[in-house]
A and B are shown apart, each in its own frame.
Chain A
Amino acid sequence: MLRYTLLRILGAIPTLLLVIALAFLMVHAAPGGPFDDERVLPADIEANIQAHYHLDEPLPQQFLRYLSGLLRGDLGPSYRYHGRSVGSLIGEAFPYSLQLGAMAMALALVIGIGAGTAAALRQGTVFDKVVMGFAMTGISIPVFVIAPALVLLLAVKLQWLPAGWSGVTGMSRYVLPVTTLALPQIAYIARLTRASMMDVLSRDFIRTAYAQGLGTATVVRVHAMKPAMLPVLSYMGPAIAAILTGSVVVEQIFAIPGLGESFVRGALNRDYTLVLGIVVFYASLIVFLNLLVDILYGAIDPRVRYR
């Protein structure tokens, strides 16, 4: 197992290198530079700035400089945030995205699974139709429509919740962003759960369980839930991806200083190092999570062997 883990980590290095090289080329290929502005700089001032950030060196040399920095764990200085390192910027921004994503995921799982199960148990009733109608709506409406609508209703009209993020203390500021982010996932998970649960409930072993005289609650909890959750578990990967990308929009609308917001800002400002740093960070995160999932699989499923 240790050998397997080490091999996997070694195997990830070429992947990461490729990602870094591609990202490096792409950010530098984008027209314009980090210091271009309508207020064009006089030539010698621009030269001073380029020299300060080593942007006057040939591209291969800049790439090597970047790689050698990476080896030392240094993601370089931000080109826009003068005097800040990319590492510290990511370190400050990522916790916000993580909190937001984790809370949205938790909310989506709890409500999605609950509503889906309840709907499966009441097939064809008004309740079922309402839940599924809601789910269809939730999947269809994009985040950038849901968010302003919720803000207008709950923050501006009713004033129950804050419209923004900064300067608001307590948990109230999480409510709108997390809800916005979770809504499409709630909808999707509810539909998945309902379909899967209906399938499982029609199986023979469920009929046997009922025949043994168990109540519905026990049957669902003990016998039906685990097999019904398999499709939902498989959906977790895409769901995390959807929440990460969705958070870019949500972070913009609510002005939350998370990683998605930093990434967009970095790309627009041609903050090469910040964009690269976030790409490297996300790539490493995904490689690590994949590894973790593979190892966990072995722990759950005895048929999996590591070689």
Chain B
Amino acid sequence: MKTLRALGLLIALAVGAACGGEDPAGPPGTLQRGLSSDPETLDQHKARSIQAADVIRDLGEGLVGYSATGELIPAAAERWEVSKDGLKYTFYLREGLRWSNGEALTADHFVAGMRRLVDPSTAAFYAAMLADLENAAGITSGDIPVSMLGVEAPDDRTVVLRLVQQTPYLVSLLTHPSTFPIHPETLAEHGDGFARPGKLVSNGAYTLDAWVPGSAISLKRNEHYWNNAATAIDAVNYHVMVQDNSELNRYRAGELHVTSTVPPDSFAQIRKDYGEQLRVAPYLGVVYFGYNLTKPPFKDNAALRQALSMAVDREQIALRVTGRGEAPAYSWVPQGVNNYEPPLSGFAALGKEEREQVARRLYKEAGYGPDKPLRIELRYNTNDTNRKIAVAVQSMWREILGVEATLVNEEFQVLLANMKDAEITQVFRSSWTGDYNDAHTFLSVLQSGSAANMPRYTSEEFDSLMALAARQVDLEQRKLYLEEAERVMLADYPVIPLYFFVSKHLVSPQIEGWGDNVLDYHYSQQLSFKAAQ
């Protein structure tokens, strides 16, 4: 019995220890939000994930911001000017900007932040965000000192950016957390570990109160924020909910006001149960199947690529397989991008029958038929939706063309490694989401030499149109060049765009101020509780 008693004592001690260190539920009126993965860091220059950026947008503030419905609005800068050649941007900061510790926020802090982003010793994932600033590329590759970056602060309230080429989307880049300012003293004191509770000094509507990795992040109101009077919600808790079903259960139990997503399988039921609380909106992201253009059978075989692309019934996939309001994709750039009208693939205008006929003819021209069917592998990363799409496409190809596609599912990191090698891949599933609201974030992916160019697409015509667009001062002309570039690319069929993403949230009826936007940004400072709350 002695051993049992000793064991009992051990257990009692452990249970006792359990009662310490609780994380707070927050005061009444705390906004409870779901977050689909744990942010890797809250260091604005080192963060990479969408989830980290979501939290950092509550903590920090850039020169420019977005309204709830996705229009650019002044943030730390009250106004800005662009030089005639489009290569010099001057931002004028608001008067009396302060950090969360009460110290003055000056233009130097923006300069310090941007320098830290491109500095090779920071090893920032988003260092390329400011690649169009003077000397940025040379600094990141380690050839030029960081002080040469094309950003300066002529006085405490003015930030000047100098560019090497036309970047009409520059202003929208400055909403991205990687361009946020940094509090130099905090960085000097704590080094790379500065983005922790008790250390982080922020300049946005909220400050960091607590962070239990893998569990929750608590924010509270920043009293020194310039627009503090307009911030309605005092405290925000982000709950890390990796499993979408667990998140849904917490919403159902009334423990969350806003979810980060909605589980795919229960979508129809949720729509029925929650009606208006379900917010589905177009999102800047495209899901596609890419061809490996460096190897047969797809290398130099545009007819075959076109045949496979045309045989995919995108309506069926968007409607029956994903079924959450996704738009079928006949272009690479999604609808709803600023100052851009995506051209559609030529066959989009054809009916289903005609498409299939053309596809069959092209397939035959490419040298395949019932006696010699195309045998390929279709790779995707293990995930229920991906599997359903792959199965659907496999059967479309088989029925219409007689293609024998083998499905290969791989863990995400394995698929990424295979795509990067471009050795064994033939057709693979991937996606791209925009970093800013401009067609460039999509089209630049397929430029020769782009690291994200998974199909290894190269086209001189496409590249030169992209280069022409980059030199254009006239926005209307630039738009035409970009659209022409996409038209050229689509006609080469390096990818099969399948559908465009939608953002999906459940938003409690207690919450006001929610707006749908293509970037899926939802600043907590723009939300509020209804008066009855």
| Chain A interface (Cβ < 8 Å from any Cβ of B) | 30-33, 35-46, 48-49, 51-52, 80-84, 89, 92-93, 95, 98-99, 102-103, 105-106, 109, 148, 151-152, 155-156, 159, 162-171, 174, 225-226, 229, 233, 252-258, 261-262, 265, 268, 270, 296, 300
Closest beta carbon of chain B to A17's beta carbon, Å: 27
Contact call A82/B40, Cβ cutoff below 8 A: yes
Most chain B CB neighbours (cut-off 10 Å) among A36, A48, A93, A253:
A48
In Å, the complex CA distance between A208 and B276 comes to 74
Closest beta carbon of chain B to A54's beta carbon, Å: 12
Which of A41, A253, A296 touches B125 (beta carbons < 8 Å)?
Answer: A41
Contact call B253/A155, Cβ cutoff below 8 A: yes
Is B340 interfacial (CB-CB < 8 Å)?
no
A42 and B128 in contact, given A32-B413, A255-B246 (Cβ under 8 angstroms): yes
Contact call A95/B21, Cβ cutoff below 8 A: yes
Is B214 interfacial (CB-CB < 8 Å)?
yes
- Closest residue on chain B to residue A256 by CB atoms: B215
Is B46 interfacial (CB-CB < 8 Å)?
yes
Which of A32, A92, A261 touches B417 (beta carbons < 8 Å)?
Answer: A32
Q: Mark B1-24, 1 if CB is under 8 A from A, else 0.
A: 111100110111011011101111
Contact call B420/A166, Cβ cutoff below 8 A: no
In Å, the complex CA distance between A156 and B249 comes to 7
- The segment from B53-61, B78-86, B233-241, B519-527 that touches chain A is B233-241
- Closest residue on chain A to residue B37 by CB atoms: A265
A-B contact sample (20 more), CB < 8 A, given A81-B41, A166-B237: A41-B451, A103-B11, A103-B14, A103-B18, A105-B11, A151-B249, A155-B249, A163-B252, A164-B249, A166-B239, A167-B239, A168-B25, A226-B1, A252-B242, A255-B242, A257-B212, A257-B240, A261-B242, A268-B413, A300-B2
In Å, the complex CA distance between A27 and B433 comes to 29
Closest beta carbon of chain B to A201's beta carbon, Å: 18
Contact call A39/B452, Cβ cutoff below 8 A: yes
In Å, the complex CA distance between A137 and B415 comes to 39
A-B contacts, 26 listed (Cβ < 8 Å): A30-B414, A31-B417, A39-B432, A41-B128, A44-B142, A49-B123, A49-B125, A83-B43, A83-B193, A98-B14, A99-B14, A99-B15, A103-B14, A103-B18, A109-B7, A155-B249, A159-B253, A164-B256, A166-B215, A167-B25, A168-B25, A255-B215, A256-B215, A268-B412, A296-B3, A300-B3
Q: Mark B179-208, 1 if CB is under 8 A from A, else 0.
A: 000000000000111111000000000000
In Å, the complex CA distance between A254 and B195 comes to 26
Size range of the interface on B?
A: 35 or more
A-B pairs, 6 with minimum CB distance = A32-B413, A257-B214, A166-B216, A102-B14, A99-B18, A257-B215
Which of A32, A40, A45 touches B124 (beta carbons < 8 Å)?
Answer: A45
Contact call A163/B249, Cβ cutoff below 8 A: yes
Which of B141, B195, B416 touches A32 (beta carbons < 8 Å)?
Answer: B416
In Å, the complex CA distance between A30 and B213 comes to 25
Contacts of A99 in B (CB 8 A): 14-15, 17-18
Contact call B430/A167, Cβ cutoff below 8 A: no
- Closest residue on chain B to residue A44 by CB atoms: B141
Is B120 interfacial (CB-CB < 8 Å)?
yes
Contact call A164/B239, Cβ cutoff below 8 A: yes
Which of B7, B18, B43, B216 touches A174 (beta carbons < 8 Å)?
Answer: B18
In Å, the complex CA distance between A33 and B412 comes to 11
Contacts of A52 in B (CB 8 A): 121, 123
Q: In chain B between 249 and 264, which residues have their CB closer than 8 angstroms to a CB of chain A?
A: 249-250, 252-256
- Closest residue on chain B to residue A159 by CB atoms: B253
Closest beta carbon of chain B to A140's beta carbon, Å: 22
Contact call B214/A270, Cβ cutoff below 8 A: no
Most chain A CB neighbours (cut-off 10 Å) among B123, B194, B414:
B123
A38 and B431 in contact, given A98-B14, A156-B249 (Cβ under 8 angstroms): yes
Contacts of A105 in B (CB 8 A): 11
In Å, the complex CA distance between A165 and B215 comes to 8
Contacts of A226 in B (CB 8 A): 1
A102 and B253 in contact, given A81-B41, A92-B212, A225-B1 (Cβ under 8 angstroms): no
Contact call B26/A167, Cβ cutoff below 8 A: yes
A32 and B414 in contact, given A52-B123, A163-B249 (Cβ under 8 angstroms): yes
Contacts of B451 in A (CB 8 A): 40-43, 46
Contact call B195/A262, Cβ cutoff below 8 A: no
Is B48 interfacial (CB-CB < 8 Å)?
yes
Contacts of B174 in A (CB 8 A): none
Closest beta carbon of chain B to A282's beta carbon, Å: 17
A95 and B17 in contact, given A233-B3, A262-B214 (Cβ under 8 angstroms): yes
Closest beta carbon of chain B to A290's beta carbon, Å: 16
Contact call B40/A102, Cβ cutoff below 8 A: no
A162 and B255 in contact, given A170-B22, A252-B243, A255-B240 (Cβ under 8 angstroms): yes
Is B245 interfacial (CB-CB < 8 Å)?
yes
In Å, the complex CA distance between A262 and B412 comes to 18
Contact call B23/A166, Cβ cutoff below 8 A: yes
